Structure 1
Amino acid sequence: MGFDQYHEPPEELSDDARTFARMITSLTEEAEAIGWYEQRISLEKDRQAKAIMENAQKEEMKHFGMDLEFLLRKKEVWRTTLKAILFTDGDIVEMGKKGEEKAEG
């Protein structure tokens, strides 16, 4: 039985490649959930319902961050690039270019 996250025959992929695909899928699902909650929160009138949704969105963000960190630990070049972008000030595009240059060595 195949899964949507695989574009190659799963039985031919290494365990690491299958785990990586699962984590990418998880990251994508968390990002989608964050976006859905953002839309719901922006429209919700009931304060308690809104607070519950905000709490759930924070959990999705935490899971997104955990998924991302797992992937960055597996791909050093990604980590190097993103270190130049995340948690910095300045032009995001410029920081991205600098990060790519640093990753390329």
Structure 2
Amino acid sequence: MTGEYEGRENLSEDTKDLERARQSLIEELEAINWYQERIDATRNEELRRILEHNRDEEKEHVAMLIEWIRKNDSTQDRMFEEHD
């Protein structure tokens, strides 16, 4: 979490919120990978469909977080525009 180096009490609320969003993004991307591994590993079609559904929900969460970060970090937004 933010503040590991400088102490949370020294950070603005905006910095804390951006870190929360970025950390959540990391966790959502990890979850996508975990679900994909399980999808690849299972031989049960019903379970596969459930896992695919769950993976796709995580992808929606990633999109939502990226959009929020873009709205709240103008430099990051510009980088997305430049590398589109």
TM band (smaller chain): 0.7 to 0.9
Indicate which of 31, 36, 41 corresponds to 1:38.
36
Instruction: Report how far residue 76 of structure 1 moved.
Output: 2.1
Q: Which residue of 2 aligns with 1:78?
A: 76
The structure whose RCO (Cα within 8 Å, separation 6+) is larger is: 2
Whose helix fraction is larger, Structure 1's or Structure 2's?
2
Gaps (5+ residues) in structure 1? Answer: 87-105
Structure 1 or 2, whichever has the larger Rg, is 1
Runs of 4+ in 1 over 6 A off after TM superposition: none
The percent of aligned pairs where both chains have the same amino acid is 29
Q: Which residue of 1 aligns with 2:7?
A: 9
Gaps (5+ residues) in structure 2? Answer: none
Normalising by structure 1, report the TM-score.
0.72
Normalising by structure 2, report the TM-score.
0.88
- Alignment pair present for 1:69 and 2:67: yes
- Find the aligned partners of 2:42 and 2:53 in 1 and give their Cα distance: 14
